[in-house]
Amino acid sequence: MSEFMKQANSLVLSAKDLAKTYGHGLSAVEVLKGINLDVAPSEKVAIIGSSGSGKSTLLHLLGGLDIPSAGSVVLAGLNLNNLPVAKLDQLRNQSLGFIYQFHHLLDEFSAQENVALPLRIRGLSYEESMDRASKILKSVGLAARELHTPGELSGGERQRVAVARALVGNPACVLADEPTGNLDTETADSVFDLMLDVAREQGTAFVIVTHDPIRAKRCDRILHLERGILKNVAA
């Protein structure tokens, strides 16, 4: 357990009155309005909404990748607004994982090296980082592909590597932005199944932005982002 998680309460992630506005005066665009969101350990939360509704912006704020215009985000018991950059970077590295629609793997690195990268950034030794990367790749069914570069992997395999990279640091929460949006139906189902299995087995929380209502229904909660307001979707 990281030093940050020792300070955390029962919530992994909490956003209070979160707002984001771009521009000023007459040109100002209010993208998010007073968002409130609590995420518990191992909980799977789906966020749906039309293109341009601010879903990615919300994930960026939850992950400390952007600064809110108002409100706060508390991750592992710490308010992101109050952290210096170095501390925020450290907290993100230890407590969050990120998965995007496109894998964003480094082409010149093997699957194992790509997965080990967050641990190397954390300061772990090369040997330990590579060993942990190898173990997590085995758990996502890629033991035989760990020495292959992204160009030698299929789309589904690349996304599994991205999932492994997000999970290798044992994060409290993974933020996933359309993680299966670039995959065919069968492969997307496989990757989504993998994420749900991890949530159940490791207690990792997931906040998943998706356009797919069928996959969203497999999560514990569905939230709809519309005109900057986040609303619960009735079961």
Name the pLDDT band for 234 (thresholds 50, 70, 90). low
200 close to 123: Cβ distance less than 8 angstroms: no
Mean pLDDT, residues 71-91: 90
Number of domains forming the structure of the chain? 1
What residues make up the domain containing 89?
A: 5-232
Mean pLDDT, residues 210-230: 88
For 175-196, how does the pLDDT look when each residue is reduced to its tens digit (9 = 90+)?
998 887 777 787 788 778 877 8
Mean pLDDT over the full length of the chain: 86
At 181 the pLDDT is: 75
Mean pLDDT, residues 76-87: 89
For 133-180, how does the pLDDT look when each residue is reduced to its tens digit (9 = 90+)?
999 898 888 899 999 999 999 888 888 899 889 988 889 999 998 887
Question: Cα-Cα-Cα-Cα dihedral of 48, 103, 44, 81, to 10°?
Answer: -80
pTM for this entry: 0.85
Q: How far, in whole angstroms, is CA 22 from its chain's centroid?
A: 23
Angle between helices 185-202 and 155-167 (to 10 degrees): 20
Name the pLDDT band for 2 (thresholds 50, 70, 90). very low
For 11-27, how does the pLDDT look when each residue is reduced to its tens digit (9 = 90+)?
899 999 999 998 887 78
Quick check: 6 pLDDT over 70?
no
Quick check: 65 pLDDT over 80?
yes
Give the percent of the chain with pLDDT over 70.
95
For 28-56, how does the pLDDT look when each residue is reduced to its tens digit (9 = 90+)?
888 898 899 999 988 999 999 887 778 88
Name the pLDDT band for 4 (thresholds 50, 70, 90). very low
Give the percent of the chain with pLDDT over 90.
40
CATH of the domain at 178: 3.40.50.300
